[in-house]
Structure 1
Protein backbone atom coordinates (compact mmCIF):
# COMPACT_ATOMS: atom_id res chain seq x y z
CA UNK A 1 0.00 0.00 0.00
CA UNK A 2 1.45 3.35 -1.05
CA UNK A 3 1.99 5.81 1.80
CA UNK A 4 1.35 9.52 1.25
CA UNK A 5 2.80 12.20 3.50
CA UNK A 6 0.43 15.19 3.82
CA UNK A 7 1.98 18.32 5.33
CA UNK A 8 -0.10 21.43 6.05
CA UNK A 9 -0.65 23.64 9.08
CA UNK A 10 -4.35 23.98 8.21
CA UNK A 11 -6.16 21.06 9.92
CA UNK A 12 -9.12 21.44 7.54
CA UNK A 13 -6.89 20.90 4.50
CA UNK A 14 -5.23 17.91 6.16
CA UNK A 15 -8.61 16.37 6.98
CA UNK A 16 -9.96 17.02 3.47
CA UNK A 17 -6.93 15.58 1.69
CA UNK A 18 -6.57 12.62 4.07
CA UNK A 19 -10.22 11.61 3.67
CA UNK A 20 -9.98 11.54 -0.11
CA UNK A 21 -6.66 9.70 -0.13
CA UNK A 22 -7.94 7.09 2.32
CA UNK A 23 -11.02 6.52 0.15
CA UNK A 24 -8.72 6.01 -2.84
CA UNK A 25 -6.83 3.29 -0.98
CA UNK A 26 -3.73 5.15 0.20
CA UNK A 27 -2.26 5.12 3.68
CA UNK A 28 -1.89 8.70 4.91
CA UNK A 29 0.73 10.10 7.27
CA UNK A 30 0.17 13.71 8.36
CA UNK A 31 2.28 16.52 9.80
CA UNK A 32 1.56 20.14 10.64
CA UNK A 33 4.93 21.58 9.61
CA UNK A 34 8.18 20.72 7.87
CA UNK A 35 10.13 19.75 10.96
CA UNK A 36 7.45 17.33 12.11
CA UNK A 37 7.20 15.95 8.56
CA UNK A 38 10.88 14.96 8.59
CA UNK A 39 10.37 13.23 11.94
CA UNK A 40 7.42 11.32 10.49
CA UNK A 41 9.48 10.28 7.44
CA UNK A 42 12.11 8.75 9.73
CA UNK A 43 9.39 6.80 11.55
CA UNK A 44 7.41 5.79 8.43
CA UNK A 45 9.07 6.29 5.04
CA UNK A 46 6.48 7.47 2.50
CA UNK A 47 6.20 7.05 -1.26
CA UNK A 48 5.04 10.61 -2.08
CA UNK A 49 4.53 13.91 -0.27
CA UNK A 50 1.82 16.56 -0.61
CA UNK A 51 3.30 19.73 0.88
CA UNK A 52 1.87 23.18 1.58
CA UNK A 53 4.16 26.13 0.92
CA UNK A 54 3.32 28.43 3.83
CA UNK A 55 4.02 26.70 7.17
CA UNK A 56 5.74 27.69 10.45
CA UNK A 57 9.20 26.53 11.56
CA UNK A 58 10.11 24.96 8.20
CA UNK A 59 8.13 25.99 5.14
CA UNK A 60 7.21 23.81 2.17
CA UNK A 61 10.13 24.92 0.03
CA UNK A 62 12.68 24.05 2.71
CA UNK A 63 10.93 20.75 3.28
CA UNK A 64 10.95 19.99 -0.44
CA UNK A 65 14.70 20.52 -0.56
CA UNK A 66 15.24 18.24 2.45
CA UNK A 67 12.95 15.49 1.15
CA UNK A 68 14.59 15.48 -2.26
CA UNK A 69 18.05 15.38 -0.73
CA UNK A 70 17.38 12.63 1.81
CA UNK A 71 14.61 10.53 0.28
CA UNK A 72 14.12 11.48 -3.41
CA UNK A 73 10.37 10.88 -3.39
CA UNK A 74 7.88 12.65 -5.71
CA UNK A 75 6.48 15.86 -4.23
CA UNK A 76 3.34 17.87 -4.98
CA UNK A 77 3.35 21.44 -3.71
CA UNK A 78 0.11 23.12 -2.60
CA UNK A 79 -0.01 26.89 -2.90
CA UNK A 80 -2.57 29.69 -2.65
CA UNK A 81 -3.18 31.85 -5.71
CA UNK A 82 -1.53 34.78 -3.92
CA UNK A 83 1.69 32.75 -3.67
CA UNK A 84 1.74 31.34 -7.18
CA UNK A 85 5.26 32.71 -7.75
CA UNK A 86 6.50 30.12 -5.26
CA UNK A 87 6.09 27.43 -7.89
CA UNK A 88 9.18 28.59 -9.81
CA UNK A 89 11.38 28.23 -6.73
CA UNK A 90 9.68 24.95 -5.88
CA UNK A 91 10.56 23.48 -9.26
CA UNK A 92 14.16 24.62 -8.84
CA UNK A 93 14.28 22.77 -5.53
CA UNK A 94 13.00 19.58 -7.14
CA UNK A 95 9.22 19.48 -6.71
CA UNK A 96 7.46 17.35 -9.31
CA UNK A 97 4.09 19.09 -9.51
CA UNK A 98 1.94 21.75 -7.87
CA UNK A 99 -1.72 22.51 -7.23
CA UNK A 100 -3.34 25.86 -6.54
CA UNK A 101 -5.84 26.04 -3.68
CA UNK A 102 -8.75 25.47 -3.79
CA UNK A 103 -8.51 22.28 -5.85
CA UNK A 104 -10.71 19.32 -6.70
CA UNK A 105 -9.76 16.09 -4.88
CA UNK A 106 -10.01 14.18 -8.17
CA UNK A 107 -7.30 16.41 -9.64
CA UNK A 108 -4.98 15.66 -6.73
CA UNK A 109 -5.62 11.93 -7.05
CA UNK A 110 -4.85 11.98 -10.78
CA UNK A 111 -1.56 13.78 -10.17
CA UNK A 112 -0.55 11.44 -7.34
CA UNK A 113 -1.31 8.38 -9.45
CA UNK A 114 0.64 9.77 -12.43
CA UNK A 115 3.70 10.59 -10.31
CA UNK A 116 3.75 7.23 -8.57
CA UNK A 117 3.51 5.44 -11.92
CA UNK A 118 6.29 7.59 -13.38
CA UNK A 119 8.63 6.90 -10.45
CA UNK A 120 7.90 3.17 -10.61
CA UNK A 121 8.08 2.92 -14.39
CA UNK A 122 11.57 1.45 -14.56
CA UNK A 123 10.56 -1.38 -12.22
CA UNK A 124 7.03 -1.85 -13.48
CA UNK A 125 7.52 -3.56 -16.84
CA UNK A 126 7.26 -6.87 -15.02
CA UNK A 127 5.61 -7.79 -11.73
CA UNK A 128 6.09 -11.10 -9.95
CA UNK A 129 3.55 -12.51 -7.52
CA UNK A 130 5.01 -15.81 -6.38
CA UNK A 131 5.28 -17.92 -9.54
CA UNK A 132 3.05 -15.51 -11.48
CA UNK A 133 4.86 -13.16 -13.89
CA UNK A 134 2.84 -10.22 -15.23
CA UNK A 135 4.40 -8.64 -18.33
CA UNK A 136 3.35 -5.09 -19.21
CA UNK A 137 5.17 -5.02 -22.53
CA UNK A 138 2.90 -7.62 -24.16
CA UNK A 139 -0.08 -7.81 -21.76
CA UNK A 140 0.63 -11.43 -20.86
CA UNK A 141 0.60 -13.42 -17.63
CA UNK A 142 2.92 -16.41 -17.26
CA UNK A 143 2.33 -19.14 -14.70
CA UNK A 144 4.55 -22.21 -14.60
CA UNK A 145 5.49 -21.95 -18.25
CA UNK A 146 1.93 -21.38 -19.46
CA UNK A 147 1.17 -17.98 -21.00
CA UNK A 148 -2.21 -16.27 -20.67
CA UNK A 149 -3.05 -13.43 -23.06
CA UNK A 150 -5.60 -11.15 -21.40
CA UNK A 151 -7.94 -8.56 -22.95
CA UNK A 152 -6.55 -5.05 -22.47
CA UNK A 153 -8.83 -3.76 -19.70
CA UNK A 154 -8.76 -7.07 -17.86
CA UNK A 155 -4.96 -7.01 -17.95
CA UNK A 156 -4.74 -3.37 -16.83
CA UNK A 157 -7.05 -4.08 -13.90
CA UNK A 158 -5.06 -7.15 -12.86
CA UNK A 159 -1.74 -5.34 -13.28
CA UNK A 160 -2.93 -2.38 -11.21
CA UNK A 161 -4.15 -4.58 -8.36
CA UNK A 162 -0.91 -6.61 -8.40
CA UNK A 163 1.25 -3.49 -8.54
CA UNK A 164 -0.50 -2.19 -5.43
CA UNK A 165 -1.07 -5.53 -3.70
CA UNK A 166 -2.69 -5.15 -0.29
CA UNK A 167 -4.16 -1.76 -1.18
CA UNK A 168 -7.95 -1.54 -1.30
CA UNK A 169 -9.48 0.30 -4.27
CA UNK A 170 -13.07 1.41 -4.54
CA UNK A 171 -14.99 0.65 -7.73
CA UNK A 172 -15.00 4.35 -8.60
CA UNK A 173 -11.23 4.59 -8.16
CA UNK A 174 -10.70 1.56 -10.43
CA UNK A 175 -13.09 2.96 -13.04
CA UNK A 176 -11.17 6.25 -13.13
CA UNK A 177 -7.77 4.53 -13.24
CA UNK A 178 -8.55 1.82 -15.82
CA UNK A 179 -11.45 3.15 -17.90
CA UNK A 180 -10.91 6.89 -17.45
CA UNK A 181 -12.76 9.72 -15.74
CA UNK A 182 -15.10 10.20 -18.72
CA UNK A 183 -16.31 6.57 -18.68
CA UNK A 184 -20.12 6.59 -18.88
CA UNK A 185 -20.85 2.98 -17.88
CA UNK A 186 -21.68 1.83 -14.36
CA UNK A 187 -19.38 0.34 -11.75
CA UNK A 188 -20.67 -3.18 -12.39
CA UNK A 189 -18.04 -3.24 -15.13
CA UNK A 190 -15.43 -3.66 -12.39
CA UNK A 191 -17.37 -6.54 -10.83
CA UNK A 192 -17.60 -8.32 -14.19
CA UNK A 193 -13.87 -8.01 -14.84
CA UNK A 194 -12.98 -9.14 -11.32
CA UNK A 195 -15.20 -12.19 -11.80
CA UNK A 196 -13.42 -13.02 -15.06
CA UNK A 197 -10.00 -12.71 -13.46
CA UNK A 198 -10.97 -14.93 -10.58
CA UNK A 199 -12.38 -17.53 -12.95
CA UNK A 200 -9.37 -17.37 -15.26
CA UNK A 201 -6.79 -18.06 -12.55
CA UNK A 202 -8.89 -20.15 -10.14
CA UNK A 203 -7.21 -23.44 -11.01
CA UNK A 204 -3.94 -21.99 -12.30
CA UNK A 205 -2.33 -20.67 -9.12
CA UNK A 206 -2.80 -20.08 -5.42
CA UNK A 207 -0.10 -17.42 -5.21
CA UNK A 208 -2.68 -14.64 -4.92
CA UNK A 209 -6.33 -13.95 -4.23
CA UNK A 210 -8.46 -11.01 -5.35
CA UNK A 211 -10.53 -10.19 -2.29
CA UNK A 212 -13.68 -8.15 -1.81
CA UNK A 213 -14.03 -5.60 0.97
CA UNK A 214 -17.78 -5.37 1.37
CA UNK A 215 -19.11 -1.90 0.68
CA UNK A 216 -15.67 -0.62 -0.36
CA UNK A 217 -14.03 -2.44 -3.26
CA UNK A 218 -11.25 -4.90 -4.07
CA UNK A 219 -7.62 -5.69 -3.39
CA UNK A 220 -5.10 -8.35 -4.37
CA UNK A 221 -3.59 -10.38 -1.54
CA UNK A 222 -0.27 -12.15 -2.10
CA UNK A 223 -0.18 -15.67 -0.73
CA UNK A 224 3.56 -16.25 -1.23
Structure 2
Protein backbone atom coordinates (compact mmCIF):
# COMPACT_ATOMS: atom_id res chain seq x y z
CA UNK A 1 0.00 0.00 0.00
CA UNK A 2 1.30 3.48 -0.87
CA UNK A 3 2.12 5.04 2.51
CA UNK A 4 1.86 8.62 1.18
CA UNK A 5 -1.63 7.96 -0.19
CA UNK A 6 -2.77 6.39 3.07
CA UNK A 7 -1.39 9.29 5.12
CA UNK A 8 -3.12 11.80 2.81
CA UNK A 9 -6.43 9.94 3.04
CA UNK A 10 -6.17 9.71 6.84
CA UNK A 11 -5.48 13.44 7.12
CA UNK A 12 -8.43 14.27 4.86
CA UNK A 13 -10.76 11.94 6.81
CA UNK A 14 -9.73 13.63 10.07
CA UNK A 15 -10.55 17.04 8.59
CA UNK A 16 -14.00 15.88 7.49
CA UNK A 17 -15.00 14.10 10.71
CA UNK A 18 -12.70 15.34 13.50
CA UNK A 19 -12.74 13.14 16.58
CA UNK A 20 -15.06 10.55 15.07
CA UNK A 21 -14.24 7.25 13.40
CA UNK A 22 -16.96 6.21 10.96
CA UNK A 23 -17.74 2.53 10.48
CA UNK A 24 -17.47 0.64 7.17
CA UNK A 25 -18.34 -2.94 6.30
CA UNK A 26 -16.31 -4.58 3.53
CA UNK A 27 -17.90 -7.67 1.95
CA UNK A 28 -15.14 -9.32 -0.10
CA UNK A 29 -14.25 -13.01 -0.45
CA UNK A 30 -10.79 -12.62 -1.96
CA UNK A 31 -8.42 -12.83 1.05
CA UNK A 32 -5.75 -10.53 -0.35
CA UNK A 33 -8.19 -7.83 -1.50
CA UNK A 34 -10.26 -8.01 1.67
CA UNK A 35 -7.22 -7.72 3.96
CA UNK A 36 -5.80 -4.92 1.80
CA UNK A 37 -9.04 -2.92 2.05
CA UNK A 38 -9.43 -3.48 5.78
CA UNK A 39 -5.85 -2.43 6.52
CA UNK A 40 -5.90 0.60 4.23
CA UNK A 41 -9.26 1.92 5.39
CA UNK A 42 -8.25 1.50 9.03
CA UNK A 43 -5.06 3.44 8.38
CA UNK A 44 -7.24 6.10 6.73
CA UNK A 45 -9.13 6.59 9.99
CA UNK A 46 -12.17 4.32 9.67
CA UNK A 47 -13.49 1.49 11.80
CA UNK A 48 -13.68 -1.50 9.45
CA UNK A 49 -15.28 -4.96 9.64
CA UNK A 50 -14.75 -7.61 6.97
CA UNK A 51 -17.16 -10.32 5.83
CA UNK A 52 -15.97 -13.12 3.53
CA UNK A 53 -19.36 -14.30 2.26
CA UNK A 54 -22.51 -12.60 1.05
CA UNK A 55 -24.57 -14.36 3.70
CA UNK A 56 -22.34 -13.17 6.56
CA UNK A 57 -22.11 -9.69 5.03
CA UNK A 58 -25.87 -9.25 4.80
CA UNK A 59 -26.34 -10.44 8.39
CA UNK A 60 -23.67 -8.02 9.66
CA UNK A 61 -25.06 -5.11 7.59
CA UNK A 62 -28.52 -5.62 9.07
CA UNK A 63 -27.36 -6.19 12.65
CA UNK A 64 -24.85 -3.34 13.04
CA UNK A 65 -25.16 0.42 12.37
CA UNK A 66 -22.54 0.72 9.63
CA UNK A 67 -22.37 4.00 7.79
CA UNK A 68 -21.19 2.57 4.46
CA UNK A 69 -20.80 -0.82 2.76
CA UNK A 70 -18.20 -1.80 0.16
CA UNK A 71 -19.60 -4.80 -1.70
CA UNK A 72 -18.18 -7.31 -4.18
CA UNK A 73 -20.49 -9.02 -6.70
CA UNK A 74 -18.99 -12.51 -7.00
CA UNK A 75 -19.43 -13.86 -3.47
CA UNK A 76 -20.04 -17.30 -1.96
CA UNK A 77 -23.46 -17.84 -0.45
CA UNK A 78 -25.47 -14.82 -1.57
CA UNK A 79 -23.94 -12.90 -4.45
CA UNK A 80 -23.59 -9.12 -4.38
CA UNK A 81 -26.79 -8.55 -6.35
CA UNK A 82 -28.78 -10.57 -3.80
CA UNK A 83 -27.12 -8.80 -0.87
CA UNK A 84 -27.86 -5.40 -2.41
CA UNK A 85 -31.50 -6.29 -3.06
CA UNK A 86 -32.04 -7.63 0.47
CA UNK A 87 -30.17 -4.75 2.07
CA UNK A 88 -32.19 -2.09 0.25
CA UNK A 89 -35.41 -3.74 1.45
CA UNK A 90 -34.34 -3.16 5.06
CA UNK A 91 -31.85 -0.28 5.22
CA UNK A 92 -30.90 2.84 3.33
CA UNK A 93 -27.16 3.44 3.67
CA UNK A 94 -24.44 4.22 1.11
CA UNK A 95 -23.17 1.20 -0.84
CA UNK A 96 -20.21 1.04 -3.23
CA UNK A 97 -19.91 -1.96 -5.53
CA UNK A 98 -16.23 -2.90 -5.91
CA UNK A 99 -15.98 -5.64 -8.51
CA UNK A 100 -14.12 -7.01 -11.51
CA UNK A 101 -17.39 -7.08 -13.47
CA UNK A 102 -16.91 -4.09 -15.74
CA UNK A 103 -19.62 -4.60 -18.39
CA UNK A 104 -21.91 -1.58 -18.74
CA UNK A 105 -24.96 -3.76 -18.09
CA UNK A 106 -23.45 -4.89 -14.77
CA UNK A 107 -22.89 -1.28 -13.79
CA UNK A 108 -26.44 -0.33 -14.75
CA UNK A 109 -27.82 -3.34 -12.87
CA UNK A 110 -25.90 -2.43 -9.71
CA UNK A 111 -27.09 1.16 -9.77
CA UNK A 112 -30.66 0.11 -10.51
CA UNK A 113 -30.59 -2.14 -7.44
CA UNK A 114 -29.79 0.94 -5.37
CA UNK A 115 -26.00 1.17 -5.16
CA UNK A 116 -24.60 4.68 -4.79
CA UNK A 117 -21.36 4.04 -6.68
CA UNK A 118 -19.67 1.36 -8.78
CA UNK A 119 -15.89 0.98 -8.94
CA UNK A 120 -14.16 -1.60 -11.14
CA UNK A 121 -11.13 -3.69 -10.13
CA UNK A 122 -8.24 -3.14 -10.41
CA UNK A 123 -8.80 0.13 -8.59
CA UNK A 124 -6.89 3.04 -7.12
CA UNK A 125 -7.06 2.95 -3.33
CA UNK A 126 -6.88 6.75 -3.21
CA UNK A 127 -9.84 7.00 -5.59
CA UNK A 128 -11.82 4.54 -3.47
CA UNK A 129 -11.21 6.54 -0.29
CA UNK A 130 -12.20 9.77 -2.04
CA UNK A 131 -15.46 8.17 -3.14
CA UNK A 132 -16.04 6.86 0.40
CA UNK A 133 -15.44 10.34 1.79
CA UNK A 134 -17.86 11.93 -0.66
CA UNK A 135 -20.63 9.46 0.14
CA UNK A 136 -20.15 9.77 3.89
CA UNK A 137 -20.21 13.56 3.70
CA UNK A 138 -23.26 13.57 1.45
CA UNK A 139 -25.19 10.85 3.24
CA UNK A 140 -27.97 9.06 1.42
CA UNK A 141 -29.29 11.49 -1.17
CA UNK A 142 -30.32 9.32 -4.08
CA UNK A 143 -31.97 10.76 -7.16
CA UNK A 144 -34.57 8.67 -8.92
CA UNK A 145 -33.26 6.88 -12.01
CA UNK A 146 -36.68 6.29 -13.56
CA UNK A 147 -39.60 8.67 -14.04
CA UNK A 148 -43.10 8.02 -15.32
CA UNK A 149 -45.68 10.74 -15.94
CA UNK A 150 -48.87 10.17 -17.89
CA UNK A 151 -47.74 8.13 -20.92
CA UNK A 152 -44.12 9.31 -20.80
CA UNK A 153 -41.35 7.15 -19.36
CA UNK A 154 -37.79 8.40 -18.80
CA UNK A 155 -34.99 5.98 -17.89
CA UNK A 156 -32.02 8.02 -16.67
CA UNK A 157 -29.46 5.19 -16.58
CA UNK A 158 -30.25 3.92 -20.07
CA UNK A 159 -30.96 7.45 -21.34
CA UNK A 160 -34.17 6.22 -22.92
CA UNK A 161 -37.45 8.09 -23.38
CA UNK A 162 -40.76 6.69 -24.60
CA UNK A 163 -44.35 7.90 -24.98
CA UNK A 164 -47.14 5.40 -25.49
CA UNK A 165 -44.39 2.81 -25.96
CA UNK A 166 -42.81 4.75 -28.84
CA UNK A 167 -39.06 5.43 -28.54
CA UNK A 168 -38.15 9.13 -28.68
CA UNK A 169 -34.60 9.83 -29.84
CA UNK A 170 -33.10 12.89 -28.15
CA UNK A 171 -29.75 14.63 -28.33
CA UNK A 172 -27.71 14.79 -25.14
CA UNK A 173 -28.84 18.35 -24.35
CA UNK A 174 -32.45 17.55 -25.16
CA UNK A 175 -32.32 14.61 -22.75
CA UNK A 176 -30.76 16.79 -20.04
CA UNK A 177 -33.45 19.41 -20.58
CA UNK A 178 -36.28 16.88 -20.41
CA UNK A 179 -34.75 15.22 -17.34
CA UNK A 180 -34.60 18.59 -15.58
CA UNK A 181 -38.21 19.42 -16.45
CA UNK A 182 -39.48 15.98 -15.42
CA UNK A 183 -37.67 15.77 -12.10
CA UNK A 184 -38.86 19.30 -11.25
CA UNK A 185 -42.37 18.65 -12.58
CA UNK A 186 -44.95 21.17 -11.45
CA UNK A 187 -42.33 23.87 -10.88
CA UNK A 188 -42.07 26.95 -13.05
CA UNK A 189 -38.43 26.98 -14.12
CA UNK A 190 -37.00 30.24 -15.37
CA UNK A 191 -34.88 30.39 -18.49
CA UNK A 192 -31.96 31.35 -16.23
CA UNK A 193 -32.37 28.19 -14.14
CA UNK A 194 -32.62 26.01 -17.22
CA UNK A 195 -29.60 27.58 -18.91
CA UNK A 196 -27.54 27.24 -15.73
CA UNK A 197 -28.36 23.56 -15.14
CA UNK A 198 -28.41 22.25 -18.72
CA UNK A 199 -25.78 24.40 -20.42
CA UNK A 200 -23.80 25.45 -17.32
CA UNK A 201 -23.93 29.05 -18.54
CA UNK A 202 -25.00 32.42 -17.22
CA UNK A 203 -28.21 33.45 -18.92
CA UNK A 204 -28.09 36.34 -21.35
CA UNK A 205 -31.50 37.89 -22.06
CA UNK A 206 -30.49 38.29 -25.69
CA UNK A 207 -29.81 34.56 -26.05
CA UNK A 208 -32.71 32.35 -27.14
CA UNK A 209 -30.90 29.04 -26.71
CA UNK A 210 -33.42 27.83 -24.11
CA UNK A 211 -36.47 28.71 -26.21
CA UNK A 212 -34.98 27.05 -29.30
CA UNK A 213 -34.14 23.90 -27.33
CA UNK A 214 -37.60 23.72 -25.80
CA UNK A 215 -39.18 24.14 -29.24
CA UNK A 216 -37.14 21.22 -30.59
CA UNK A 217 -37.92 19.11 -27.54
CA UNK A 218 -41.65 19.80 -27.88
CA UNK A 219 -41.53 18.73 -31.52
CA UNK A 220 -40.34 15.30 -30.40
CA UNK A 221 -42.04 14.83 -27.03
CA UNK A 222 -45.35 16.71 -27.41
CA UNK A 223 -46.23 17.41 -31.04
CA UNK A 224 -46.95 13.80 -32.12
CA UNK A 225 -49.19 13.19 -29.09
CA UNK A 226 -52.55 14.54 -28.01
CA UNK A 227 -51.63 15.30 -24.38
CA UNK A 228 -49.12 18.15 -24.06
CA UNK A 229 -46.67 17.94 -21.17
CA UNK A 230 -44.31 20.90 -21.65
CA UNK A 231 -45.94 24.25 -20.99
CA UNK A 232 -44.88 27.88 -21.19
CA UNK A 233 -45.19 29.96 -18.03
CA UNK A 234 -45.64 33.52 -19.19
CA UNK A 235 -42.85 35.94 -18.25
CA UNK A 236 -40.99 33.14 -16.41
CA UNK A 237 -40.05 30.09 -18.45
CA UNK A 238 -41.35 26.54 -18.67
CA UNK A 239 -42.93 23.78 -16.63
CA UNK A 240 -43.67 20.09 -17.06
CA UNK A 241 -46.96 18.49 -16.10
CA UNK A 242 -50.67 18.55 -16.77
CA UNK A 243 -50.76 22.28 -17.38
CA UNK A 244 -49.27 25.65 -16.54
SS of equivalent residue, structure 1 residue 85 = helix
Q: Structure 1 residue aligned with 2:134, among 114, 119, 123? A: 114
RMSD over equivalenced CA pairs, Å: 1.7
Q: Structure 2 residue aligned with 1:63, among 75, 78, 83? A: 83
Number of aligned residue pairs: give it.
Answer: 121
SS of equivalent residue, structure 2 residue 99 = strand
Taking structure 2 as the reference length, what is the TM-score of the superposition?
0.47
Mapped to 2, the partners of 1:83 and 1:31 lie a distance apart of 25
Superposed displacement of residue 42, structure 1: 4.1
Structure 1 unaligned spans of 5+? 122-224
- Does the 8 A contact of 2:94 with 2:140 survive in 1? no
Match of 2:24 in 1: 4
Match of 2:112 in 1: 92
- Does the 8 A contact of 1:6 with 1:18 survive in 2? yes
- Does the 8 A contact of 2:92 with 2:140 survive in 1? no
- Does the 8 A contact of 1:51 with 1:76 survive in 2? yes
Superposed displacement of residue 58, structure 1: 0.4
Mapped to 2, the partners of 1:66 and 1:81 lie a distance apart of 20
Superposed displacement of residue 38, structure 1: 2.0
SS of equivalent residue, structure 2 residue 60 = helix
State whether structure 2 residue 47 is matched by structure 1 residue 47.
no
State whether structure 2 residue 38 is matched by structure 1 residue 38.
no
SS of equivalent residue, structure 1 residue 30 = strand
- Does the 8 A contact of 2:62 with 2:91 survive in 1? no
Question: Which has the higher mean CA deviation after the structures are superposed, 17-26 or 34-43?
Answer: 34-43
Mapped to 2, the partners of 1:38 and 1:92 lie a distance apart of 19
Superposed displacement of residue 44, structure 1: 2.5
Question: Higher RCO, 1 or 2 (CA under 8 Å, sep at least 6)?
Answer: 1
Structure 2 unaligned spans of 5+? 1-20, 142-244
Superposed displacement of residue 98, structure 1: 0.8
Superposed displacement of residue 20, structure 1: 1.0
Taking structure 1 as the reference length, what is the TM-score of the superposition?
0.51
- Aligned counterparts, 1:195-210, within 5 A: none
Superposed displacement of residue 119, structure 1: 0.7
SS of equivalent residue, structure 1 residue 76 = strand
Higher strand share: 1
Superposed displacement of residue 83, structure 1: 4.9
